[in-house]
Amino acid sequence: MSHSNVKRGILRYGWWSRTNHWLVAICFVLLTLSGLALFYPAFFGFTALFGGPEPTRIVHPYIGVFMTLFFLIQAVRFFTSNLFRRHDRQWIKQMPDMLNNRDDRLPPVGKNNAGQKLVYWIFLLTVPILLISGVVLWRPWIADGMPIWALRWAAMIHALAAFVAILTLVIHVYSAIWVKGSVRAMTRGRVSHAWARHHHKLWYDEVVNDRDHVDREDRLRTRTVTPTDRPKEL
């Protein structure tokens, strides 16, 4: 699949990146529902979604292990685009512009803006904490052999990390809906040239200036002759 195409837009997320992301998202939502059901009586009704209280308790840690695996694959693939760069500092300083719909004033950013990078790092911190504290609490495999103080610490850390991760997810989903065209990037994979130029100018410049990634249609338009290439997917 080509990276940039005048008609179809620019490839932002390839097939596997999208599938991987939605697997993480589905697991995360199921974990939130089952976790809340186990955590607080007001959410007890959610146990019905998993076949009752006992199945909810059994299934919750298994979903957690799957989510961690899928998330770690995603985290490795997205690592470089989430490293903070010098221009991110200016973007953070101008966050009020973003919140007040003055995004035309924001400095140009790469594939991800500083807000998206922050979300990535919070997930990268909280997911392993959730896994480790969750494993300590895993009945009957691990928890039964653990001292009471370890169970208390694990329960507190698990709840705190879950709170931070759920809050981050709410912000993540809200921003995805807020920035029109983002959801399409994660469902269809491609974004329009105008969207990429407007929201991620440095990334856009990188993509369109990368001759290896410009496909045949683009080459015909710009009337340049280059050898047939095999563009790679992100």
8 Å CB contact between 190 and 12 = yes
* CB of 199 vs ligand HEM, minimal distance in Å: 7
Contact flag: residue 60 with ligand HEM (CB under 6 A): no
Is residue 172 among the annotated active site residues?
Answer: yes
**Contact letters (x/-) for ligand HEM, 159-188, by CB under 6 A?**
----------x--xx--x-----xx-xx--
Closest-CA residue to 64 (of 33, 95, 100): 33
Number of residues that bind ligand HEM (CB under 6 A): 23
What is the Cβ-side half-sphere exposure of residue 193, based on CA atoms within 13 angstroms? 10
In the chain, where do the E strands start and end?
4-5, 9-11, 190-191
Question: What crossing angle do the helices spanning 15-39 and 53-77 adopt, rounded to 10°?
Answer: 150
Identify the bridge partners of residue 191 per DSSP, sorted by sequence position.
10
Nearer Cβ to ligand HEM (27/228): 27
Contact flag: residue 68 with ligand HEM (CB under 6 A): no
Q: Is 151 exposed, middle or buried (0-12, 13-18, 19+ CB in 10 A)?
A: middle
Contact flag: residue 82 with ligand HEM (CB under 6 A): yes
Contact flag: residue 192 with ligand HEM (CB under 6 A): no
Binding site for ligand HEM (CB under 6 A): 12, 21, 24-25, 28-29, 71, 74, 78, 81-82, 112, 116, 120, 123, 169, 172-173, 176, 182-183, 185-186
List active site positions. 172
